[in-house]
Amino acid sequence: MLNEEDRRLLKLIAEDCRLTPEELSIQTGLSTDYITKRIIDWENDKVIVGYQPMINWDRTGDEKVSALIEVKVLPQRGYGFDKIAKRLQKYPEVKALFLMSGGYDLSLLIEGKTMQDVALFVAEKLASLEHVQSTATHFVLRRYKQDGIELLGEEETIQRLVVSP
Amino acid sequence: MNNYLTPNVASLPPSGIRKFFDLVATMKDVISLGVGEPDFVTPWTVRESGIFSLEEGQTMYTSNAGLLELREELSHHLNKTFNLSYDPHHEILITAGASEAVDLVMRAVLGPGDVALVPDPSYVSYAPCAILAGASVTYVPTYAREDFRLRVEDLARVYTPNAKLLVLSYPNNPTGAIMNREDLLPIADFANEHDLLVLADDIYSDLTYDQKHVSFASLPGMRDRTLFVNGFSKSYAMTGWRIGYVAGHSGLIQGMTKIHQYTMLCAPIMGQFAAIEALRSASEAKNDMVTAYDRRRRLMVHGFRQMGLDCFEPLGAFYVFPDISKTGLSSEEFAEQLLREEKVAVVPGTAFGPSGEGHIRCSYAYSMEQLQEALKRIAHFVERRLTNL
């Protein structure tokens, strides 16, 4: 379990991983040495698994297609769903992979350059896998919010008074 | 037409903040640290419930005291948070912002011949409200060396027997000072001994960074002596909704309700519905805001100390109150020259009372980026002044 200070530190890093240990120290009151050590620990323990900017690719003009794919799988004796999941996560097209409760088993977030890319992946790689019973592909039409960030910014032009008591 | 104004109103000085506001308004590209309200928008769940109340057609007056549902929720909240117990039927009055509550307290208990004791520096409304109620004001100075806490020795020094009301406003605007239980106990003894009523303006009670707020009304024997004023503006970023409240002995609340019913009638109903939702489900959003303020607070204190200025560590509200006397400038000179040379707006400490001299109030209810830029500009300004000395 994280203590309150560590939780706050980790949240800060999650919010902006560009902050240096010195800046984090100023903003939290924790020592730079402690923060540096903690970050190394978290990296070693795979608590921090990477540092990535959040990019809204829709604004770059690059073509990109995403799809959510529901997959029904026959679980394998002794492995459950892990064996097939391990195999699926290797594909670079698979950006996220979850085991789900409900009407289907695995949920995949796939990214490709075109719809053909995604269709090809489903037909050739996914549906033909042993134990995969069925797939249903849902293409993403528009992204409104991702990782907690509102992408369709309502550009809140709210004006506060410049000086107030 | 000025001669139609009563002498009381005519002689009332305009707020020192207003003067500064007018100056800033004429300039472009100013970074302002002058704002006394949160930079956050009201949490969505709270806004949504205000919208829903409109959809439901809740557009009428409420009872003078405010929606019973809100008062009940508040009674529960005050008990849970500050260990205070108020009967929602007779001891809580919902007002149009805590500002109205302050005015009601002053008008209900002060009149000609009475004196209100007001901490100096403190929020700009206390003295004018007391004066408009016909009373006079005695400032109780507070000092940076005492972390701007109100000390009973300083209170005793300025006390006169016609003093009737003591204002306590902690966490304090503009200093960011707080008072813990040990600080408050001697004040409670003093209030008892001299039969003083206490207006405890606890509007920043949720914005403390090192320890939980202690409400003066929760001290032994102080409940009936205290008028507990609070509101939703600072805690839940709801300044524009205008919802505050006052809680206290039913006899006093009854008196205030009379003034309120003839002058305000009731607080806005939409805001009252939103306030209910704030109490029920916005505590996490509130805590997130407090965490964000805390980061900025640390950045600001560090920034001013790096410049070589003394900056007492504020443990409440969202202001820092650095000592700028090293620059050889008065508060007003500093604020005005800083604005003209570096386009950063801060408020001179003297806008909050004579003891604010030598200080400036900087709000940190701004984004990290704005604060960092402002600190950079202030540092340039201070460096120039210090090297010229």
CB pairs under 8 A between A and B: 52
Q: Which of B35, B41, B291 sits opposite A161 (nearest CB)?
A: B35
Tell me the average pLDDT across A92-99. Answer: 95
Sort out which chain B residues have CB atoms less than 8 A from A5's CB and list them. none
CATH 3.30.70.920 in chain A: give the residue spans: 57-142
- Binning chain B into helix, strand and coil, the percentages to the nearest 5 are 50, 15, 35
- Dist CA B98 CA B126 (whole Å): 12
Walk across the sheet containing A106-112 and list its strands. A94-99, A106-112, A65-73, A132-139
For residues B86 and B78, the answer to whether their CB atoms sit within 8 Å is: yes
**Per-residue model confidence (pLDDT) at position B196:** 98
Cα(B268)–Cα(B280) distance, integer angstroms: 19
Question: Using CB atoms and an 8 Å cut-off, which of residues 263-302 of chain B contact chain A?
Answer: 291, 295-296, 298-299, 302
Compute the distance between CA of residue A147 and CA of residue B59 in angstroms, rounded to an integer: 38
For chain B, the straight-line distance linking the first and the last C-alpha, in angstroms and rounded, comes to 48
**CA–CA separation, B176 vs B210, rounded Å?**
12
The per-residue pLDDT for A159 is: 78
B197 phi and psi angles, rounded to 5 deg:
-80, 150
Residue of B295, B313, B370 to mutate when probing chain A, most A C-beta within 10 A: B295
Confidence of residue A156 (pLDDT cuts 50, 70, 90): low
- pLDDT at residue number A155: 58
State pLDDT tens for residues A15-42: 999 999 999 999 999 999 999 999 999 9
Per the DSSP assignment, residues forming a β-bridge with B246 are B93, B229
Task: Give the residue from B20, B24, B30, B35 with the most A CB atoms within 10 Å of its CB, the best one to mutate.
Answer: B35
Asked if residue A157 has pLDDT above 70, the reply is no
Residue A146 has pLDDT above 90, yes or no: no
3-state secondary structure of B141: strand
| Reported CATH class of domain A4-44 | mainly alpha
Residue A135 to residue A125: CA distance in whole angstroms: 12
B34 closest CA partner among A57, A160, A157 = A160
The Cα B92–Cα B94 span in angstroms is: 7
Would the pLDDT of A149 be above 90?
A: no
Are the C-beta atoms of A145 and A54 separated by less than 8 Å?
no
Q: Around B192, how many Cα atoms within 13 Å sit in the side-chain half-sphere?
A: 13
- Between the alpha carbon of residue B167 and those of residues A70, A128, B98, B286, B359, the distances in Å are 64, 77, 14, 26, 22
User: Cβ contacts of residue B355 below 8 Å, gap of 6+?
Assistant: B120, B121, B139, B141, B142, B143, B349
Residue-wise pLDDT for B177-217, tens only, equals: 999 999 999 999 999 999 999 999 999 999 999 899 999 99
List the CATH code of the domain at A57-142.
3.30.70.920
* Tokens (6 digits) for B298: 């640390």
Query: What pTM, to 2 d.p., does this model score?
Result: 0.90
Q: Is the peptide bond before B174 cis (omega within 30 degrees of 0)?
A: yes
Q: Residues B29-64: pLDDT tens digits? A: 899 999 999 999 999 999 999 999 999 999 999 999
d(CA B119, CA B283): 30
Alpha carbons B380 and B319: distance in angstroms, whole number: 21
Contact call for A160 and B41, based on CB within 8 A: no
Of A151, A153, A144, A156, nearest in space to A55 by CA: A151
- Nearest residue of B to residue A156, measured between CA atoms: B41
**Residue B115 · residue B160 · CB < 8 Å:** yes
pLDDT digits (tens), chain B, 389 positions: 778 999 989 989 887 777 778 888 888 889 999 999 999 999 999 999 999 999 999 999 999 999 999 999 999 999 999 999 999 999 999 999 999 999 999 999 999 999 999 999 999 999 999 999 999 999 999 999 999 999 999 999 999 999 999 999 999 999 999 999 999 999 999 999 999 999 999 999 999 998 999 999 999 999 999 999 999 999 999 999 999 999 999 999 999 999 999 999 999 999 999 999 999 999 999 999 999 999 999 999 999 999 999 999 999 999 999 999 999 999 999 999 999 999 999 999 999 999 999 999 999 999 999 999 999 999 999 999 999 77
Between A51 and B18, the higher pLDDT residue: A51
Of A11, A28, A160, the CB nearest to B35: A160
CA atoms within 13 A on the CB side of A92: 3
CATH 1.10.10 domain locations along chain A = 4-44
Name all domains of chain B by residue range, CATH numbers in brackets: 2-42+284-388 (3.90.1150.10), 44-281 (3.40.640.10)
**Given this model, what pLDDT does residue B97 score?**
98
- Give residue A149's identity as a one-letter amino acid code: I
* CB contact at 8 A, B367 and B292: no
- pLDDT attached to residue A154: 62
Give the SS3 label for residue B215.
coil
Tell me the two tokens of residue B113: 């011949």
Q: Quote the ipTM score.
A: 0.78
